[in-house]
Structure 1
Amino acid sequence: MRNQSIIVKWLAERGCFGVFSQGIGAARLEYLNQGGVIVSRSPL
């Protein structure tokens, strides 16, 4: 994932890094047009 560091920084600035860390490897991040993030479970 080429933009992983950008996403981590983006989440960290919003205080969501803990949530991201918990779901990393088991979740998929998707940017919304509104600039938000969806954290959804991946079937992998």
Structure 2
Amino acid sequence: MHGVQAIHDALPEVEEKIKSGKLRIIGAIYDMETGKVRTLEKKL
């Protein structure tokens, strides 16, 4: 989630695109053993 927040904070134009529905930032964790991707709950 730190990475998701860092992207949001580092790029001011992101907030505008999120509010307009043109962009969503979703964190995820990739499990190298299983090959599965788990998305995180908090979305921006």
So what's the TM-score if we normalise by structure 1? 0.33
Using CA pairs under 8 Å that are at least 6 residues apart, name the structure with larger relative contact order, 1 or 2: 2
Q: Which has the higher strand share?
A: 2
Larger radius of gyration: 2
